[in-house]
Amino acid sequence: MNGPGDPPRDPPQRPAGLIGRKPGDRRVRVDRPRAAYFRYEGPGVLVARAKASEPTTPLGKTLARIRRGLLGRPLASEEEIGERLSKRKALAIFSSDAISSSAYATEEILRVLVLAGAAALTFSLGIAIAIAIMLAVVSTSYRQIGYAYPNGGGAYAVGKANLGRYAALIAAAALLVDYIMTVAVSTSSGVEQITSALPSLSPFNIEIGVLAVGIITLGNLRGIRESGNLFAIPTYLFVGSALLMVVLGVVRIVFQGAGGPPPNPLPAAPVHDTVATVGVLLLLRAFAAGSVALTGTEAIANGVTAFKPRPSEAHNAAQTLTAMAVLLAVLFVGITFVAHHFGVVAVDDPATGKVQQTVVAQVASLVYGPDSPGFYLFQVFTALILFLAANTSFNAFPRLAAILAQDGYMPRHFAFRGDRLAFTLGILLLGGISAGVLLLFRGETTALIPLYSVGVFVSFTISQGGMVRHWRATREAGWRKRMGINAVGCALTGVVSVVVLVAKSPESLLVAVIIPTLVALMLFIHHEYESQAQELEVRPDAVIGPPHREERVVIPVPGLTRAVVTAVNFGRSISDNVVCVHITDDLEAGERVRARFERQLPGVPVVIVESPFRSLVNPFVAYLDVTYTDPSVVTIVVLPEYVGRHWWDRVLYNQVTNRLRQALVGRPHTVIATIPYRRGS
Amino acid sequence: MLPFAPMPDSQPAVTVKRVVLGLSGGSADPLVVRLGCQLVRGQRAELIGVHVVEVDWSHDLSEDISSGNELAAAILDHAEGAAEDFGATLQTSLLQARHPGAALVDEAVALGADIIVLGLPYRTRFGGDFAIGRTVPYVFQNAPCRVLVAREQMPVENRPLAPLGDRVGASA
C-alpha cells in the first residue's frame, strides 16, 4: 500500500481468487489503497485520516515520534470537548485567576504602606474594603455583559460591536499585555509561596519560575482542557483552607484577643513616621497596588457559552460571577484583616533582597502554626492555585490572538490549531514572553506588579463604555438601570485606570507605551492583509476565460542527463517555444554539450552563455532579462532537480537549482517549475 | 438521525471474538452496524464489515471493477463512521464474488467469525409478497456460526391487521 509522497505503485496485478467451501465458490479481496488515507464522505468529498497527515520521510517520522511523545497523539477536530460546565466547576475554572490574587494583593498594599511607617499600616484594611467595593461594582457591571453577550463578551468583542475598532484594539492590546503579566505574576507569586515554605529554594526562584512556565506551556501544547475536576480540586482546596485560615484568625483576634504590633524596626526603611504624613498619593499607590485583586474578574463574562443552558447560560454565569466576587472579597478583606491585627508585613531577605516569606505565608504560619502540616498544605494549595491562574491565561491569550488573527489584526498562523487542537503559536508566544519577563524581573512579584493591572482596568473601562452604548442603542427592558450600572462601572474603572497608571509610574508607563505600539502593529498587519485581499480579489461577476498569453520555456541545463531530459520533455509538453541555456566558462565544453543535444534531443535549441567570471545564477537571470522583455509573454523556467534518497543528498545536490529558484522568485511574468527526477525512475 | 428507534443499552448476551457484518449498502446497514457494536461492547472483539460486489458472468471475477467504485467505498466508509459514533472500531473488507451469500459465509469462515449480522430491508415484490432475497436464506442455511438478521421496521400501510377480537370497537 502506498501513500502520498511514496513512489508510484506498480500497475495493480490481478488478485488471485480465494476458494470457497463449496465447489465453484470463489471470491476476490479488493485492495483499497485509498482507504487507509481517506474516507469517502460524499460525492467529490474525501476526509483525510490521520495517516494522510503523517510524514513520509524518515526524518519527519522521527520528529513526529518525538512530538507525539512530548505532546501526545494528534486529535481530530471532532474530538474537541464541548462539555458544558456546572456552576460549581465553572467557578473553579474561571475564578482561579481572580481568587488567587488574594494571595498577593494584601502584600502589595502593605509593601506600599510600610514605606510610611507602622501607623500607615492601619490603612490597609480600609484600602482593602475600598477595593472590595470596586470589585462589587465591576462584577455587577460584568453580570450585565454576560446577559447582553451570551456568546462571550470579551472587552474586544464588546468594544468592536459598540465603540469601533480602535477602542476594540486598545482593549485587545491591553488584555494581551495583561495575560502575559498574569502568567508572570502568578508564577512568580506561586514560586514565592514555595520558597516561603522551603527557604533553601529561594536562590533558585527564577529557575523554578521559568521551569513552571515551561511545564504549563508544554501542558497546554498537549491540549490540557480546563477539565472540571482537575481544576476544581486545587481551587476549592485553596478556597477552603484560606477561608478556614481567615475564620480561625478572626476567632483568635475577636474572642481570644490574639494579635500584635508590627515588627520594630519595620523591615523596610520608613520615610515617615506618623499618620499625618501619609499622603494621598501614598494611599492611592497602595490602592493601585492592591487593585491587582480585580484581575481575572472578566473571565466569567468571556466564557458564558461554557455554562449549562438551564435556566440560561447568562443566568448561571451571573450567579457564578456573584459567588466569585463574594469569595474573593471575603478572602481578600479577611486576609488583610488578620494580617493587620497580627502585625504582619512583607519580609525580604536582607542579603538577597528577595522575598523571605510572603504575607499570606506569614498569616498561615501564625494561624496554623509554623512548620505545621496545615501551614505546608496551605502553601502547596496556594502555589497550585497560582500556577492554575497562570494556566487560565494560556487559555485566554491564544483564543484572543486567534480571534484577532481571524479579524486580520494578527498573523493568520495564530488562528491555526495544532495537532492537539490547541492554538500552538499563541501558546508558544505567551510562554516565551512570560518566561522572558520573569527573567527580566528576576522572578520578583513586587517588581512585576507595577506593570500589572493597568491593562485590566483599560479593558474594563472599554467594555463598560461599550455596554453603555449597547444599552442606549438597544433600549431593552430596564435599559436605563442597566446603563446606569455600566456607566458607574465605566467611570470608576476609568478613574482607577488613570490612578493605577499614575500611581505605579514610572514603571507602568512602559505598559502605556506597549499598548499603543501593539495597536499600531495590529493596524499595520490589518492594512497589509486588506491590501493583499484587494489585490488578489476576483470580482464575483467576473467570468474567467481561457489563458491567452504566449508562453516560453527556458531550461538551465548543466549537460545532458536524465533529469534534464525529463525537464525538457515537460517543457515541450506545455509550449513549442523551448530553449535550453547552458552557462559555462569553457566554451569548448559548451559546444560539446550543444552537439550532444543536437544528436540526442533534436529540435531543442541550446544557447551557450559563456561566463568568464564563473558565475552561474546571475548570467542566467541576466539572459532572461535581456531576451524576454515582452510582458505579454510568460516565461516558464523549468528547473531539473535530482531527488536523492537521504537527507545528506540535500547537501550534495541541487545547490545551483536552489540558488536559481531563490533568484527567480518574485520575478515578474515568470513561473518557476521544478521537475524532480527520482533516483531509479 | 438513525432511521430506527434506539435499542436499550444492555450487557452483551453472548461472548464473541469476531463479528462479521454483511453490508449491502441498503437502508438496514445502520441497524446492522449498531447491532454489531452492541454485540462487541465491553468485549475485546473484532468487528469486520464486509461488502460483496456481485460480478456478473460478463466479467472475469478477478477483473478489478470495485477498487475505484465510489459506491463500495461509500458503503464501507459510512459503516466505519457509524461504528466510530458508537465507540467501536470497524475493519472493512471489500470482496468481489458471483454470489454475495457464498462469499460472505466463506469470508466469515476464513476469519473465524462467531456471528454474522445481516440487515434485511422490508421490501415487497411488486407491492405484494415480502421479498427476502437470496443472500439471507443462503447464509441461514450455510453459515456454520450464529446468524443475526435485523429486519427493518415494516411500513404502517403493510402491517397486518390485528385479529378481529383485538380491534377497537369490535363486537362479539
**Nearest to residue B63, comparing CAs of B103, B23, B98, B93?**
B98
User: Is residue B170 over pLDDT 50?
Assistant: no
Asked if the Cβ–Cβ distance from A15 to B70 is below 8 Å, we say no
Q: And the C-alpha cell for A650?
A: 540535500
Q: Which residue of B has its CA nearest to A41?
A: B74
Which range has the top average pLDDT, A67-81, A479-493, B72-86? B72-86
User: Is residue A8 over pLDDT 60?
Assistant: no
Which residues of B are less than 8 Å from A41 in CB distance?
A: 77
Which residues of A are less than 8 Å from B74 in CB distance?
A: 40, 42
Asked if the Cβ–Cβ distance from A35 to B77 is below 8 Å, we say yes
In angstroms, the separation between the Cα of residue B11 and the nearest Cα of chain A is 26
Asked if the Cβ–Cβ distance from A25 to B102 is below 8 Å, we say yes
Asked if the Cβ–Cβ distance from B95 to A17 is below 8 Å, we say no
Q: What is the pLDDT of residue A153?
A: 56
Nearest CB neighbour to B94, from listed A17, A20, A30: A30
**Nearest to residue A295, comparing CAs of A160, A93, A452, A514?**
A452
Across the range A551-562, mean pLDDT stands at 92
Higher pLDDT, A363 or A660: A660
Residues A144-197 pLDDT 10s: 777 877 766 578 888 888 888 898 899 889 888 888 988 898 888 888 878 877
Q: What is the pLDDT of residue B171?
A: 40
Q: Long-range CB contacts (< 8 A, 24+ apart) of A327-331?
A: A327/A95, A327/A99, A327/A239, A328/A95, A328/A98, A328/A99, A328/A101, A328/A102, A328/A135, A328/A293, A329/A132, A329/A135, A329/A136, A330/A243, A330/A246, A331/A99, A331/A102, A331/A239, A331/A242, A331/A243, A331/A246
Q: What is the pLDDT of residue A12?
A: 47
Distances (CA, A) of A89 to A196, A234, A306: 30, 12, 11
Q: And the C-alpha cell for A406?
A: 481571524
Tell me the pLDDT band of B22, cut-offs 50, 70 and 90: very high
- For residue A558, give the DSSP letter: S
User: Is residue B157 over pLDDT 50?
Assistant: yes
Across the range A141-146, mean pLDDT stands at 80
Q: What is the pLDDT of residue A571?
A: 93
Q: What does pTM read for this prediction? A: 0.69
Residues 6+ apart with CB under 8 A from A29: A15, A18, B93, B94, B95
Residues A14-46 pLDDT 10s: 455 788 888 778 888 888 777 778 888 777 777
Which residues of B are less than 8 Å from A39 in CB distance?
A: 77, 80-81
Average pLDDT over chain A reads 81
Asked if the Cβ–Cβ distance from B99 to A25 is below 8 Å, we say yes
Q: What is the pLDDT of residue B13?
A: 61
Asked if the Cβ–Cβ distance from B96 to A39 is below 8 Å, we say no
Q: And the C-alpha cell for A363?
A: 498569616
User: Is residue A362 over pLDDT 90?
Assistant: no
Asked if the Cβ–Cβ distance from A18 to B110 is below 8 Å, we say yes
In angstroms, the separation between the Cα of residue A54 and the nearest Cα of chain B is 20
User: Is residue B18 over pLDDT 90?
Assistant: yes
Paired residues of B46 in beta bridges: B18
Q: And the C-alpha cell for A218?
A: 508544554
Q: What is the pLDDT of residue B161?
A: 65
Asked if the Cβ–Cβ distance from B53 to A41 is below 8 Å, we say no
Across the range A242-262, mean pLDDT stands at 79
Q: Which residue of B has its CA nearest to A42?
A: B74
Which residues of B are less than 8 Å from A11 in CB distance?
A: none
The span from the CA of A176 to the CA of A398, in Å, is 9
Residues A120-129 pLDDT 10s: 777 888 888 8
> Chain centroid to CA A377: how far?
32
Nearest CB neighbour to B77, from listed A33, A39, A43: A39
Most distant CA atoms of chain B, gap in Å:
66
Higher pLDDT, A279 or A595: A595
Q: What is the pLDDT of residue B9?
A: 53
Across the range A371-398, mean pLDDT stands at 83
User: Is residue A278 over pLDDT 60?
Assistant: no
Distances (CA, A) of A400 to A170, A214, A314, A528, B161: 13, 21, 21, 20, 64
In angstroms, the separation between the Cα of residue B4 and the nearest Cα of chain A is 22
Q: What is the pLDDT of residue A4?
A: 42
Q: What is the pLDDT of residue A351?
A: 64
Residue with cell 477595593: A131
User: Is residue A1 over pLDDT 60?
Assistant: no
Tell me the pLDDT band of B123, cut-offs 50, 70 and 90: confident
Which residues of A are less than 8 Å from B81 in CB distance?
A: 39
Q: And the C-alpha cell for A485?
A: 450600572
In angstroms, the separation between the Cα of residue A42 and the nearest Cα of chain B is 7
User: Is residue A569 over pLDDT 90?
Assistant: yes
Across the range A639-658, mean pLDDT stands at 80
Q: Which residue of B has its CA nearest to A26?
A: B97
In angstroms, the separation between the Cα of residue A27 and the nearest Cα of chain B is 5
Residues B61-87 pLDDT 10s: 877 776 667 788 889 999 998 998 888
The span from the CA of A17 to the CA of B62, in Å, is 7
Output the CA angle A613-A615-A618, nearest 5 degrees: 120
Q: What is the pLDDT of residue A276?
A: 41
What percent of chain A has a predicted confidence (pLDDT) above 70? Answer: 88
Nearest CB neighbour to B96, from listed A21, A27, A35: A27
Q: What is the pLDDT of residue B32?
A: 94
Q: What is the pLDDT of residue B158?
A: 66
Asked if the Cβ–Cβ distance from A31 to B67 is below 8 Å, we say yes
Asked if the Cβ–Cβ distance from A21 to B52 is below 8 Å, we say no
Asked if the Cβ–Cβ distance from B103 to A16 is below 8 Å, we say no
Tell me the pLDDT band of B55, cut-offs 50, 70 and 90: confident
Q: And the C-alpha cell for A302?
A: 468571556
Tell me the pLDDT band of A11, cut-offs 50, 70 and 90: very low
Asked if the Cβ–Cβ distance from A17 to B61 is below 8 Å, we say yes
The span from the CA of B8 to the CA of A381, in Å, is 45
Residues 6+ apart with CB under 8 A from A516: A170, A173
The span from the CA of A495 to the CA of A505, in Å, is 15
The ipTM estimated for the assembled molecules is 0.80
Residues of A with CB under 8 A from a CB of B: 12, 14-18, 20-22, 25-35, 39-43
Residues 6+ apart with CB under 8 A from A198: none
Output the CA angle A247-A252-A256, nearest 5 degrees: 150
**Nearest to residue A268, comparing CAs of A119, A123, A116, A122?**
A116
How many CB pairs (< 8 A) connect A and B? 79
Q: What is the pLDDT of residue A77?
A: 57
Asked if the Cβ–Cβ distance from A20 to B106 is below 8 Å, we say yes
- Amino acid residing at A621: V
User: Is residue B36 over pLDDT 80?
Assistant: yes
Residues A199-230 pLDDT 10s: 787 788 888 888 888 888 887 787 655 555 66
User: Is residue A493 over pLDDT 80?
Assistant: yes
Residues of B with CB under 8 A from a CB of A: 52-53, 61-64, 66-67, 70, 72-74, 76-78, 80-81, 92-99, 102-103, 105-107, 109-110, 142
Burial of A371 (0-12, 13-18, 19+ CB in 10 A): exposed
Q: And the C-alpha cell for A628?
A: 524576454
Residues A410-442 pLDDT 10s: 998 888 877 666 788 888 999 999 999 888 888
Which residues of B are less than 8 Å from A34 in CB distance?
A: 73
CA dihedral A106, A108, A110, A113 (to 10 degrees): -140
